Amino acid sequence: MEIDIVNKENKKVGAMDLPKGVFGTKWNPDLVHQVVTSLESSRRAPFAHTKSRGEVSGGGKKPWRQKGTGRARHGSTRSPIWVGGGVAFGPTNKRNFEKKVNKKMKVKALYSVLSKKFEEGEVLVVDTFGAEKPKTKGIADLLKALRGGETKISKTLLIAKEGWKNAVLSGRNIEKNTVTYPSGINLGNCLGTKHVIFEEKAMQEFIEKQIKKDQHE
């Protein structure tokens, strides 16, 4: 598998071989949906919380004696049937929404999304982002050239070479644009963007990282 390498003017300056195991994976929407659902559920934090009868303060004294009053027996004013009492079967913040999927499923889902984007021409490789200094204009001009003058702005994920902080500082203020490193690529930020644009060095680092990961598994 081969992908063109372009420069800042969107002109071809070379080509790069891509591993079929990463960018040639069959599209698997069911797996992607399962992993995304798992990630979203694991991030879910339960805020709603009601107190049970054991958590409501007071109510330690029996409201009246057991027999002889003609009224129903009660042991505490904090029973759920009393006003001001605890809540029975209410929501608590101890609920766990986490759904687990194994690492191989997460990796295959990522490969599936990247392969789909590669097939549809939404994965690009640029020889360099430049960004010798943290200036937004350089990245903005690059995106404008890559979009071919399109006025409609789509969400873009830029992958800079590992540790290239100036690229992150240059691109973070651009509307609908996210900049990260190869180590920061995940299913969420790939699905949430239209185009995934790699710096040539970043693509090499990403491929090497994935090959090593696959070998260890």
Asked if residues 22 and 114 have their Cβ atoms less than 8 Å apart, the reply is yes
Q: Which of 110, 126, 117 is nearest to 185 (CA)?
A: 110
186: pLDDT strictly greater than 80: yes
Fold of 2-28+98-216: Ribosomal Protein L4; Chain: A; (3.40.1370)
- Given this model, what pLDDT does residue 82 score? 94
Mean pLDDT taken over the chain = 88
The residues that bridge with 4 in the sheet, in sequence order, are: 15
Q: What is the pLDDT of residues 119-165, one digit of tens each?
A: 999 999 999 887 778 888 888 888 888 876 565 668 899 999 888 78
- Given this model, what pLDDT does residue 217 score? 59
- Given this model, what pLDDT does residue 96 score? 86
Confidence of residue 108 (pLDDT cuts 50, 70, 90): very high
213: pLDDT strictly greater than 80: no
Q: Which of 206, 216, 212, 215 is nearest to 18 (CA)?
A: 206
- Given this model, what pLDDT does residue 216 score? 60
The most confident of 8-17, 63-72, 127-136, 170-179, by mean pLDDT: 63-72
Residue 38 C-alpha from the chain's centroid: 11
DSSP string covering 193-215: -SEEEEEHHHHHHHHHHHHHHHH
33: pLDDT strictly greater than 90: yes
pTM of the entire structure?
Answer: 0.77
- Given this model, what pLDDT does residue 149 score? 56
- Given this model, what pLDDT does residue 105 score? 92
10: pLDDT strictly greater than 80: yes
Q: Which of 144, 208, 134 is nearest to 177 (CA)?
A: 144
- Given this model, what pLDDT does residue 150 score? 61
- The domain segmentation of the chain, as residue ranges, is 2-28+98-216, 45-96
* End-to-end CA separation in angstroms for the chain: 23
Beta strands across the sheet bearing 156-159? 12-17, 2-6, 123-126, 195-199, 156-159, 177-180
